[in-house]
């Protein structure tokens, strides 16, 4: 068992819990999310998952962006938490925010926004790269699985 702690920002906490699991806890702003993404890149390199490095980092970014923008509504007193588990040919990740959640059943990830729309693609990106994804009932936790072969659109 291996355990270690890395602190990318003074206000962030990160730990590799057992060598295959990364946990980060940070305040809700983009600078802290950037630090989390750096840790995820490093973590994926450690676990030799280059085939899904881009897709995993992209999905992490989209989940964190949603947590900051829509979940915690840019309130830096609220936190975002990220768990990443590396498996042999897949990554499972969970992002949780302190917000009220949202009614995810109302959102269709199958439909992309119009091509002049400047926002609203976050879930579509996640759906494109995830083998599977789901929200908790409240809508403040998303769990995503990314495989080494591009998966089908996720269940919600």
Partner 1 sequence: MTTNYRLDRTQSNCKVTVSGALTAIVIPEIKEALRKEIQQPTNELVFDLRDTTMLDSSGIGLLIATSNTLAQKQGVLRVINPSHEVFELLRHMHLVSRLNVCPTSRQG
> Given the rule CB under 8 A, which residues bind partner 1?
30-31, 33-34, 37-38, 54-55, 57-58, 61-62, 65, 112, 115-119, 121-122, 124-125, 128
Q: In this structure, which long-range contacts are made by residues 18-23, counting pairs with CB atoms below 8 Å and at least 24 apart in sequence?
A: 20/47, 20/85, 20/86, 20/87, 21/83, 21/84, 21/85, 21/86, 22/82, 22/83, 22/84, 22/85, 22/86, 23/81, 23/82, 23/83, 23/84
CA–CA gap between residue 1 and residue 79 (Å, rounded): 28
Smallest separation (angstroms) from partner 1 to the CB of 108: 15
Nearer to partner 1, 20 or 104 (CB): 104
Nearer to partner 1, 8 or 139 (CB): 8
Nearer to partner 1, 6 or 112 (CB): 112
Nearer to partner 1, 137 or 149 (CB): 149
Smallest separation (angstroms) from partner 1 to the CB of 156: 18
Nearer to partner 1, 67 or 141 (CB): 67
Tokens read off for 29:
């702003």
- Which of 55, 70, 67, 69 minimizes the C-alpha distance to 26? 67
């Amino acid at each position: 068992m291996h355990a270690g702690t890395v602190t990318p920002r003074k206000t962030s906490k990160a730990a590799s819990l057992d060598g295959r699991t990364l946990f980060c806890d940070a305040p809700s702003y983009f600078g802290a999310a950037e630090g989390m993404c750096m840790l995820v890149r490093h973590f994926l390199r450690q676990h030799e998952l280059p085939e899904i490095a881009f897709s995993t980092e992209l999905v992490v970014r989209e989940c964190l962006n949603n947590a900051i923008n829509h979940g915690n509504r840019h309130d830096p007193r609220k936190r975002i938490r990220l768990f990443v588990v590396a498996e042999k040919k897949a990554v499972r990740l969970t992002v949780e925010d302190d917000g009220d959640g949202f009614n995810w059943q109302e959102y269709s990830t199958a439909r992309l926004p119009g091509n002049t729309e400047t926002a609203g693609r976050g879930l579509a990106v996640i759906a494109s790269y995830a083998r599977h994804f789901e929200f908790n009932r409240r809508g403040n936790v998303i769990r995503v699985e990314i495989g080494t072969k591009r998966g089908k659109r996720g269940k919600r």
